Amino acid sequence: MTKIPPIKTLVARSLLTVVAALVISMGMAVHPQSQAEDAIAPAGKLNLTLEQKHVIRELIKDLKVDPATVPAQSAVGDTVPQDVNVRPMPSEIGLRVPQIKAHRFVYTAESILIIDPKDNRVAEVVETRGN
């Protein structure tokens, strides 16, 4: 004759199984969500306001610098080629938009590329026409 385990043992095993299943399923649900968020927000994006972009656009246009020739349309995260003339950020822009004072820039016919000096990648693109 088989011995039936006490009710407390059955409840404890069932509860342990349910808790383990919940922990595993929660871990699996959280992981894909964080990957999706990483894919949406590119690393290094500065999230400048329209007003800050306007300030950058107007002050750099006032410098009367010649547009650089960039091989293709640049986007956030792109590495700037070594032969492109990357300029230091003017101090007046650094005072009015503090989060980019250490950055550099490239002025093109279509846009102003804000460059992160740590890795020479585009951190933000400010269109020269529009807003």
State pLDDT tens for residues 68-95: 877 667 888 888 888 888 999 999 999 9
Q: Domain ranges in the chain?
A: 1-40, 50-127
Sign for the pseudo-dihedral over CA of 86, 87, 89, 93:
negative
Specify the CATH number for 50-127; select among 3.10.450, 1.25.40, 2.30.170, 3.30.1360.
3.10.450
Say how far apart CA 121 and CA 129 lie, in whole Å: 22
- Cα 23 to its chain centre, rounded Å, is 30
Say how far apart CA 62 and CA 33 lie, in whole Å: 44
Taking the CB of residue 70, how many other CB atoms lie within 10 A of it? Answer: 19
Quote the DSSP letter at residue 101.
Answer: T
Show the tokens assigned to 74. Answer: 């640049």
Gyration radius (Cα) of the chain, Å: 27
Say how far apart CA 131 and CA 127 lie, in whole Å: 8
State pLDDT tens for residues 53-65: 999 999 998 888 8
Q: For the whole model, what pTM was predicted? A: 0.63
Say how far apart CA 71 and CA 74 lie, in whole Å: 8
Say how far apart CA 49 and CA 44 lie, in whole Å: 15
Is there a contact between 56 and 97 (Cβ–Cβ < 8 Å)?
yes
The answer, yes or no, to whether residue 129 has pLDDT greater than 80, is: no
Show the tokens assigned to 126. Answer: 């400010």
- Predicted confidence band of residue 16 (pLDDT cuts 50, 70, 90): low
